[in-house]
Amino acid sequence: MTIRIKDIAVQLDEAARNAQATSQISQTQPISLEDAYTIQYQSIHQRLKRGEHLTGYKLGFTSKAKMEQMGVHDIIWGRLTNSMQRENNGSLNLDQFIHPRVEPEIAFLIAKDIGQSINLKDVPHFIDGVAGALEIIDSRYENFKFSLEDVIADNCSSSAYVIGEWHPPATNIQELNIQLQINKEVVQTGTSTAILGNPLLSLVEIAKMMERYGFVIPAGSVVLAGAATSAVYLKAGDQIEGQFESLGMVKLNVLEKR
């Protein structure tokens, strides 16, 4: 059976656009890892055709907390576009999402194109800034359930992100305590060490992926290193706050239902 890459890409893009869940691809047809990344590429292409542009890349499943919550144990990567970005302390309208969850992340601002593998000791040369961030993930699959290939095809559940204030690249990001609060209640705690033992390693990992798949992360892009804690479902009216010690606070307000 030939796999209808383009049809699946359109199906996933429409599910995102209409905020309407769709069934898991892997339940009706097997797809390979390569197919999954091709579907992701084509699905993002639909967004680009509508005038969006790429703003960066993200990693997924770089912490044990996330792997265990979702039952997927491989590092994955996806793409971010300008329509996903929200201002720090801005708002989020639940109507545009299916079953969104929030998770605290660390973000990097990329200083030099990344298209080939890099060593940990060279990573600082590729960074112009570091920041705390919040990611809103919203799987396009029913019940937020997926296989590794399903989630890759679905652009790793990317749906929105907020970047806190950028700090100089030399700012310490090792062993930072990270807290996620919703309506002033602490709902998740973790540390930056939860991200691959050292969040800088997320750039080593994504560089390997860029080399393998033949893409380049251009200077000026944002890279999200992957969540340090499990993700939490959002409700109307939630006030979300990520606290990242020296990197400060990142906020997002979920609008009340109209």
Positions in the binding site for Mg ion (CB under 5 A)? 135, 227
Decide whether 35 or 135 has the Cβ nearer to Mg ion. 135
Q: How many CB atoms lie within 10 A of CB 78?
A: 21
Residue 156 binds which of Mg ion, ligand OOG, none (CB < 5-8 A, kind-dependent): ligand OOG
Closest distance of CB 72 from ligand OOG, Å? 7
Distance CA 198, CA 97 (A): 31
From 47, 66, 167, 251, residue interacting with ligand OOG (rule: CB under 6 A): 66
Residue 70 binds which of ligand OOG, Mg ion, none (CB < 5-8 A, kind-dependent): ligand OOG
DSSP class of 222: E
Do β-strands 239-243 and 249-254 pair in parallel, antiparallel, or remain unpaired?
antiparallel
From 157, 181, 202, 221, residue interacting with ligand OOG (rule: CB under 6 A): 157
* Interactions with ligand OOG, residue window 188-217 (CB under 6 A): none
Closest distance of CB 120 from ligand OOG, Å? 20
Decide whether 94 or 199 has the Cβ nearer to ligand OOG. 199
Q: How many CB atoms lie within 10 A of CB 144?
A: 20
* Interactions with ligand OOG, residue window 120-139 (CB under 6 A): 135, 137, 139
Closest distance of CB 197 from ligand OOG, Å? 15
- Calculate the CA 134 to chain-centre distance: 9
From 12, 44, 102, 151, residue interacting with ligand OOG (rule: CB under 6 A): 151
Which residue from 161, 196, 171 is spatially nearest to 66, judged by alpha carbons? 196
Decide whether 31 or 227 has the Cβ nearer to Mg ion. 227
238 binds ligand OOG (CB under 6 A): no
Which residue from 134, 136, 210, 228 is spatially nearest to 173, judged by alpha carbons? 228
What is the full DSSP assignment across 92-109? E-GGG-SS-EEEEEEEEE
Quick one: CA dihedral 4, 44, 215, 247, positive or negative?
Answer: negative
From 92, 102, 207, 227, residue interacting with ligand OOG (rule: CB under 6 A): 227
From 38, 226, 243, 252, residue interacting with ligand OOG (rule: CB under 6 A): 226
CA distances from 246 to 106, 109, 117, 242, 251 (A): 12, 17, 29, 12, 15
> Contact residues for ligand OOG (CB under 6 A)?
60-61, 66, 70, 103, 135, 137, 139, 151, 156-157, 226-227
